[in-house]
Structure 1
Amino acid sequence: MNDYIVSSLGEFWQAAGESCWPGCRGALVRVSAMTSGLRHQMSYFDAVRGLSAQLVVLGHAAVLAFPVLFAVRGTDGRLGARPDQFHVQSYGVVIFLVLSGYLITMSVQRRRRDPAYGFRAYLVDRWARIFTPLLPAMVAVVLIDRLVFSGGATSRFIVLRHDLTTVVSNLLMLQDNAVLRQAAAATGQPLAARSLGSAAPWWTVALEWWIYVGFGVVALVLLHRPTTARGLLALPALVFAAATVLGTVEGGSGLMLAWLVGFAYAWWAPAMQAIPRSVHAGLTLLTVLWLWWCFDVVHLGVYAPTVCVLTGVAVVSGFHMLDWSAVLGPVRRPVAFVSEFSYSLYLVHFSVMIWLVHLVEGRVTGPELYVLLVAAGNGAGLLWWWSFERHFGRVRNALRPLVTRRSSPRPQRSPVL
């Protein structure tokens, strides 16, 4: 998942210097002045983002390397994570969504006052951030899946799907879509598709995309220079995005709540900053203890609504409770480095692990396989970031003139004589 599971720290601070906090009354207060302390605290989000990505990698490696301990056979005959256990890979997705809700909302809040920034520019930004590494990853997954599992070979852990419906669905971010799943059940037509090939975790990328679309419509169309025509044009996208996201609730998932908690902290950021650090510290401690009770005593699932809400509060109040620039300052560069390639890591690590398990299983011990999977997953993620993801800014800049309209110059006032 995530951004998060795609976040955009660079865009966040670039935008922060261009606009004012919305909601400020009286004299306008420049964002750069209000956030001078926060600017140096962003290492906290880098650390949390990098940690959550590593949790996903470590958890998936554990299931694949030690299936006797962490996996169970499902109805399709494949091995998957045991539902009665706490799995760090799933919890990493929850954290990703919290970060996404907070950071994307903060970025949009700071840029809404720019007349040149609207829904189109926002969607181009999000598309470039997500698809720049995703499109080549789709090609690689199809080609290498077919190479590794040639001759009718299968995986013990996943069902490989490379049919046209699956490819198109993944291109359109419609894999594992709740709306299409309901439509398929009602019509009997093969409308629902799963993630492409060995890239099983990509369902969270699609969920994130539709959250972005729905949020963008609300924040940049309905609440930002709204008109009846704009609202009517955006309504179908909003309805589909909302139905897609809310459809995840049917299975008891509270993932959307994790994103909404991050959103709430960002939307009302000035009020949150005004709360004393001691209160945020107490709130963080309380939610951590509550989470322990949820997991150890009540045995709630990782995606349970209560868990998702508490995680959101713990993560963002945790940001406000300390001067993280002092705590993380000495390790700021390595923390930022690990965070930088976390999205690429999320995209490619699982496929690389599936390929390796198929190729070397039985030739190495469980611990050896575990180390190999973690190392290979991180290496592949770093390579994918260097080859593709780090160029997303160029893709965005190339697309913007094609999609967005130039803003009309503001009329100059006539001099008062």
Structure 2
Amino acid sequence: MDGSKNDTSLALDALRAIAAQMVCIGHGISFFLPELRQSGLPLPQNVGVLLFFVLSGFLISYTLLEKSRNPSYTFLQFFIDRAARIYSALVPCLLLVVLVDTGTIWLIGDRVLEGSRSPTIFLANLLMIETYRGPLEHLSLLRWPIIGSASPLWTLVIEWHIYLFVGALFFIGATPARATVLIPIAIIFGQIPLHYMFGALQEDNGLGRSLFTLWLAGAYSYVVLRSVALQSRTLGALLAVGSIVAYVATTRAYLEYKPITYPFLVLFVLGVVVATQPGRIVASPWPAKIVRFFAGYSFTLYLIHHTLMYPAFLLWKDGGWLIFIPAVLVANVVAAVVATYTESRHKQLAQWLQRRISRIQFFVRGEPGIRIRDAQ
């Protein structure tokens, strides 16, 4: 996925940006244009979430397999990279959620928000243990709701636990000497992903069903492409177009979380990758700049759009297009501004964390720790 040789990296960034916009627009439709959902077509917000999981599996598989070629790449470095990527956006977004929700309660009033706000709920969301599903869900310690209006956070919990579970398993195989440390991590963080092999967030309507299975399919698709090395624009384009047409034709609204439809989304991403592997298509730098711009704040947009739209929904839920368009635009503008100082600097945060941990390792064990040049 070398950006100097082909457009695959750019295409995946474009898919990431599109997925975030689908979730944002889909929730905007649910808030302000609910009549559009009667078309029977798949709901954009659900398709966007599913696409995120396919892309995540594909990219994490790429990261682990390619970076592990360097013998100095460890689970600790993987953890730092993932933590910096997630928390660079999560922390400021949680603070923004608290700020916006507080204003909503004071100015408009909403009992739903009032019942899901407390320091302990904030901490649970910060640690990403809210909406826990697994063998210990009967414990009150793990029964935490999503904070306020930040409803998209339920998927982030699943993603985070998948990262650490899969990462731990990978490095148990790669470095068996570290198994005594990594096995407990796999046991702790494997509970939520294993539930989502076949289970759901809400069993009554199947919301979130088999998301880990979908993630694994995305991860395995990279392994397949790495082995077979398919490079055909025609084949890739046919696969991408054919699979998305088949998906739309077979998937109905509110039934997006049926695993039988997931292969079409995986094949779609595979098709895009295969079509963009042979070489560069986009010669001008401007399309790349546009894609990188929208992809650069996609995670922040995903986290905060619902919170930003919710007050408008309480005030003007019958506003239709007149409210829908400004709401989507405001969500994008705010996300882009916030991400400029947070999400877009996740690599700098990772490097800062690596330096601090290296110093701790040196003082505690007299070891040089992580070498920054190896971790980049």
Which of 311, 328, 338 is the equivalent residue of 1:384? 338
2:161 counterpart residue number: 210
1:171 counterpart residue number: 126
Decide which moves more: 276-285 or 302-311: 276-285
Which of 319, 326, 345 is the equivalent residue of 1:372? 326
Distance 2:137 2:176 in 1: 35
Distance 1:331 1:175 in 2: 39
Q: Does 1:232 align with 2:180?
A: yes
1:353 counterpart residue number: 309
Which of 209, 215, 233 is the equivalent residue of 1:259? 215
Q: Does 1:294 align with 2:250?
A: yes
Aligned residues: 352
Question: 1:281 touches 1:318 (CA, 8 Å); kept in 2?
Answer: yes
Q: Partner letter of residue 380 of structure 1?
A: V
Which of 205, 210, 222 is the equivalent residue of 2:172? 222
Distance 1:56 1:155 in 2: 25
1:110 counterpart residue number: 66
User: Shift of the alpha carbon at 1:385?
Assistant: 0.6
Question: 2:130 touches 2:157 (CA, 8 Å); kept in 1?
Answer: yes
Which of 29, 33, 57 is the equivalent residue of 2:24? 57
Decide which moves more: 118-127 or 100-109: 100-109
User: Shift of the alpha carbon at 1:165?
Assistant: 3.2
2:98 counterpart residue number: 142
Give the match's secondary structure for 1:200: coil
Question: 2:199 touches 2:210 (CA, 8 Å); kept in 1?
Answer: no
Question: 1:56 touches 1:92 (CA, 8 Å); kept in 2?
Answer: yes
2:203 counterpart residue number: none
Q: Does 1:97 align with 2:53?
A: yes
Q: Does 1:314 align with 2:268?
A: yes
User: Shift of the alpha carbon at 1:68?
Assistant: 5.8
1:179-194 equivalences under 5 Å are: 179=134, 183-185=136-138, 187=139, 189=140, 191-194=142-145
Distance 1:241 1:306 in 2: 26
Give the match's secondary structure for 1:183: coil
Distance 2:279 2:12 in 1: 10
User: Shift of the alpha carbon at 1:390?
Assistant: 1.7
Distance 1:68 1:265 in 2: 37
Distance 2:115 2:13 in 1: 34
Check 1:408–1:145 CA distance in 2 against 1; reply closer, same or farther (3 A cut).
Answer: closer
Looking at secondary structure, tell me which structure has more helix per residue.
2
Where structure 1 has 5 or more consecutive residues not aligned to the other structure, the ranges are: 1-11, 14-34, 71-81, 410-417
User: Shift of the alpha carbon at 1:401?
Assistant: 2.7
**Percent identical:** 23
Check 1:119–1:62 CA distance in 2 against 1; reply closer, same or farther (3 A cut).
Answer: same
1:41 counterpart residue number: 8
Q: Does 1:87 align with 2:55?
A: no
User: Shift of the alpha carbon at 1:120?
Assistant: 0.4
User: Shift of the alpha carbon at 1:290?
Assistant: 3.3
2:152 counterpart residue number: 201
1:16 counterpart residue number: none
Question: 1:115 touches 1:407 (CA, 8 Å); kept in 2?
Answer: no
2:353 counterpart residue number: 399
Q: Partner letter of residue 134 of structure 1?
A: L
User: Shift of the alpha carbon at 1:44?
Assistant: 1.0
- Over the residues paired in the alignment, what is the CA RMSD in angstroms? 2.8
Decide which structure has the larger Cα Rg and report it: 1
Check 1:403–1:300 CA distance in 2 against 1; reply closer, same or farther (3 A cut).
Answer: same
Distance 2:242 2:41 in 1: 23
Where structure 2 has 5 or more consecutive residues not aligned to the other structure, the ranges are: 201-205, 362-367, 372-376
TM-score calculated relative to the size of structure 2? 0.84
Question: 2:247 touches 2:265 (CA, 8 Å); kept in 1?
Answer: yes
TM-score calculated relative to the size of structure 1? 0.76
Distance 1:207 1:376 in 2: 28
Question: 2:132 touches 2:142 (CA, 8 Å); kept in 1?
Answer: no
Question: 1:198 touches 1:354 (CA, 8 Å); kept in 2?
Answer: yes
Check 1:355–1:272 CA distance in 2 against 1; reply closer, same or farther (3 A cut).
Answer: farther
Distance 1:395 1:61 in 2: 32
Distance 1:105 1:308 in 2: 18
Distance 1:173 1:328 in 2: 41
Check 1:176–1:324 CA distance in 2 against 1; reply closer, same or farther (3 A cut).
Answer: farther
Distance 2:92 2:241 in 1: 42
User: Shift of the alpha carbon at 1:361?
Assistant: 1.6
Distance 1:217 1:190 in 2: 24
Distance 2:10 2:120 in 1: 41
Cα deviation, 1:3-56, whole Å, max 9, x if unaligned, reads xxxxxxxxx86xxxxxxxxxxxxxxxxxxxxx8633x43221122111111111
Check 1:193–1:54 CA distance in 2 against 1; reply closer, same or farther (3 A cut).
Answer: same
